[in-house]
Amino acid sequence: MKKIPLIMWAFISVTSLSAQKKYPATLQETIDYLSQKSKEIIGYTKMTISQKVFINKKIIADGHVRKTPNGIEIFTSYKTEGDASVTSTLFNPKHIISVTNNSSETVNSESPVGTLNIIFIGKVALNNSEGSSAAVEKTTFNFLQSDPDNAKRIINAFMHLKKLYTIEDSSFE
């Protein structure tokens, strides 16, 4: 009689432990997550600080993050009263050195849109803006900063991408 409750307890314990185990996100899940985070800012105004003058940029197009044959592409589109700009940055995540929240230095404290800086090992990323291309050593990623943990989760997602791309390249050496 005492064996039945003991067996039930053991079964429930093992089942609940295996249900709590988390598996790392796949490459596509991580890209989809970052793309979703990029799209969250649509319709919000980014209030940047430039030479102590506020510049408002309303985000109008769907930003996205997508996988390309050579790595990852981040796409963003802005519209101001006078013009619109489209920017994309293509890079291999294994070249990321760091991702930091730069919002306190670049945007007004009341801005709903914050900025992350993605720093690379050198000029290994290709930035395309308004028809011209340039090799760059850093790029930015805009995010909705109303959730205080949003920046941390996005930074972790980029570092996870770095890990996935580093593992992918070293698997065949």
Q: What is the pLDDT of residues 98-148, one digit of tens each?
A: 999 987 777 777 788 888 999 999 999 999 987 899 999 999 888 888 888
Q: Mind listing the pLDDT tens digit for each residue in 2-29?
A: 566 555 555 565 555 444 557 788 999 9
The residue with tokens 């295996």 is 18
CB neighbour class for 137 (10 Å; exposed up to 12, middle 13-18, buried from 19): middle
Domain boundaries, the chain: 24-170
Predicted confidence at residue 17, as pLDDT, reads 47
User: Backbone phi, then psi, for 40, in 5-degree steps?
Assistant: -60, -25
Kindly report the number of other CB atoms within 10 A of residue 107's CB atom: 21
* CA–CA separation, 117 and 104 (whole Å): 12
pLDDT, the chain, mean: 80
> Distance between CA atoms of 9 and 33, rounded to whole angstroms?
37
Which uninterrupted H or E stretch holds 91? Answer: strand 84-91
At residue 18, the pLDDT reads 47
Q: What pLDDT, on the 0 to 100 scale, is given for residue 135?
A: 96
For 40-81, what is each residue's pLDDT tens digit?
Answer: 887 777 777 765 555 566 666 656 888 988 899 988 776 655
Check residue 124 and give its pLDDT.
95
